[in-house]
Chains A and B, each alone.
Chain A
Amino acid sequence: MLTSFKRIIIFGWKNFKRNPGSSSAAVFILVIVISMITGLYLLQRPVEYLVDTIEEKVDVSLYFKEDSTESEMLTLTEEVEKMPEVEDVTYVSKDDALSVFKERHEQDHLLMESLEELGINPFLASLSIKAINPEKYKDIIEFVEASEYNSLVEKVDYYKKEPILERLFSINDKVNRFGIGFSVILGIVAFLVAFNQIQISLKNAKEEISTMRLVGASNWFIKGPFIVQGVAIGTAAALISLFLFFGGLSIFNSQIEASIPGLDMLGFFSDHFLLILLIQLATGIGVGVSASLIAIRKYLKA
C-alpha cells in the first residue's frame, strides 16, 4: 500500500516535470484564477476600512430645551448610557458648547464680535450619542422620544443625518452582495477556464490511459498520478501568486497608504498570511485536482 502510494506520487511528479509546456500553461491559468480570488479577498480591506472610517465619524446629537435643568439632563444622559446599543455618550453643557465654538472660531473676528454683541450664550446643551452599530441610531432616538424625558428635548439632528446613514447602509450592503455574487461568478469562470486548460493538457494522456488499462493498471493507479499532478500544478500556482502579491504590495504599499491614509495593505496581508496562503492553496489544488479528475473520468470509462 505504502509502496503503491509512493509510486503514484513519483509518477505524478514525473508527469508534471516531463511536460513543462502543458504544466506551465496550466500553472499560468491557475495563477490568474488564484490572483483574482486573492484580489477579491484583499479588496474587502479597503472597502471595510472606508466604511469603518465613515461610520466612526457619524454620531447623533440631541439638543436640550433652554429650561431643562442640569440634573434632568444628566439623568437622561445616564438612561441613554445604559442602553446596550450605545457605545458612548457625551454631555455638552451650554458653557462647554460656547467655549468649543470660541476655540474653533477664535480667528474669525467678525463672528466673535457678533457673539459679544449678542450678550447671551445662544448655544443649547446637548448629548452627543455614538452607537455601536449605526443601524441602531433609529432605536436610540425612538427610545428617547417615547420616554418621559422627551419634553426636555428641543431637537434631534438624527433626521438630518438619516438619509446619509441610509445611503451608507445601502452602499455597505451593495458592496457585500456584489462581493458574494462576484465571487460566485468568478469561481465558476475560474473553474471552467482552468478545467478547459487542464483538459487540453490531458488530451495527450488519453492514449496513455488506455495503454495503462490494457496492461492491467487499476483505476487508482491511473488516477493517482493525475491527482498528484493536479496538486503540483495547484501548489506551484499558489506559491507563485503568493510571491506576486507579497512583492506587489511591498512595492506599492506606500503609494496605497498615500492615497488612503491609514490603510496598510501590506500589514493586512502579513496579519492574514496563513489564511491567504490557505485560500490560494485550496483554490489551486481544488481546481487542479477536480479538473484533472473530471477530465480523466471519461477516459477511464471509455
Chain B
Amino acid sequence: MIKFQNLTKVYPPKCVALDNVSFCIKPNEFVCVVGRSGAGKTTLLKMLIAVEKPSSGRIIFGGKDVSSISSKDLPLLRREIGVVFQDYKLLQNKTVAENVAYVMEIMGKGEDEIRRSVPSILGIVGLEDKANNFPVQLSGGEQQRVAIARAIAHRPKVILADEPTGNLDPYNTKEIVRLLKKIHELGTTVILATHDKEVVNCLDERVVTLEEGKVIRDEEKGRFII
C-alpha cells in the first residue's frame, strides 16, 4: 500500500534528515515509527502527505508516486490520509462539530450524511457533549480527540499520527492510544510516529526504528529499543 524506496532528504547545506530509507506498509497494518527527536520520523510523515519533497528516492501510495504529485492532485492525496498532529492543528474559528465536518464538506459530501456522521464520530471519541464548543474551550486531551475525530471523519485509508501524545498527561495518552487501536481494528492503516516508550511497548505492533535518518530496526511485534 505504501512504499518508501531509497528515500533521502538533505536540508541545505548538509543536514541529512533521512538517509536511504526503504520499507513497505501493508493495508490495515499498525506501524510505529520510533526514534529520538531529530531521527527523521516527522520528515518521513511530512513526505507522505507531500509537505516535504525527497532529495532522492520515491514514495508510492496507492500506486501513485507522491514525490512527483502535481499541485492540482495534492488536495486529493491529502483527503485519502487522515493526519493527527502533536499540536492538534484545529481550526480555531470553528466549533468541534464544524472541525470534524470540515474535511467531509471540502470533499463535497451531502448535508444529510454529514449531519448523521458527525455525532457518531464524536461519540467514538467521547465528545458528543462538546459538539458546539470551540477548540479554545477544550483541554489538550479533548483537542487531540477532536483532531482524531477529524482525521477519521471521511474514512481515509491511512491515519498518520505524529507524536499525538507528546503534549498529553498519562491518562489522556492512554485514551488516545485506545482510540488509535480502535480505529485500526475498524480496518484503517495507522502509522504512529512517537518517542514514547510506554506507548510503543503497550501496543505490541510493528516497530520501525530510525536513528540519524536511517532504519536501524524493523520488527513485527517490536519493542522500543534505542
Which residues of A come within 8 Å of B, CB atoms?
A: 3-4, 7, 14-15, 18-19, 204, 207-208, 210-218, 221
Contact = CB atoms under 8 A, between A and B. Distances in A.
A92 B17 CA distance: 102
A216 B91 contact: no
Interface string B51-69: 1000000000000000000
Interface of B: 49, 51, 75-79, 83, 85, 89-94, 102-103, 105-108, 110-111, 150
Given A3-B110, A4-B108, A215 B90 contact: no
B78 A208 contact: no
B83 A214 contact: yes
A210 B85 CA distance: 13
12 contacts: A3-B108, A7-B105, A18-B93, A208-B93, A211-B90, A213-B75, A214-B49, A214-B78, A215-B79, A215-B103, A215-B106, A217-B102
A102 B106 CA distance: 89
CB-based closest 10 A-B pairs? A216-B78, A216-B79, A211-B89, A216-B75, A217-B106, A218-B75, A221-B106, A215-B103, A18-B93, A7-B105
Nearest to B49: A214
A213 B76 CA distance: 11
Contacts of B107: 216
Nearest to A4: B108
B108 A217 contact: no
Nearest to B134: A18
Nearest to A6: B111
Nearest to B154: A216
A7 B75 CA distance: 17
Given A213-B75, A217-B102, 12 more contacts: A3-B110, A3-B111, A4-B108, A207-B92, A208-B93, A211-B91, A212-B91, A214-B85, A215-B83, A215-B102, A216-B106, A221-B106
A18 B98 CA distance: 13
Contact of A15 (B85, B93, B150): B93
A4 B103 CA distance: 12
A17 to B, nearest CB: 10
Contacts of A210: 89
B13 to A, nearest CB: 22
Nearest to A212: B91
A19 B91 CA distance: 13
A213 B77 CA distance: 11
Nearest to B98: A14
A4 B105 CA distance: 8
Contacts of B106: 212, 215-218, 221
Contacts of A207: 89, 92
B220 to A, nearest CB: 31
Contacts of A214: 49, 51, 78, 83, 85, 89
A218 B72 CA distance: 8
A213 B107 CA distance: 13
Contacts of A213: 75, 78
A215 B150 CA distance: 9
A216 B75 CA distance: 4
A14 B78 CA distance: 25
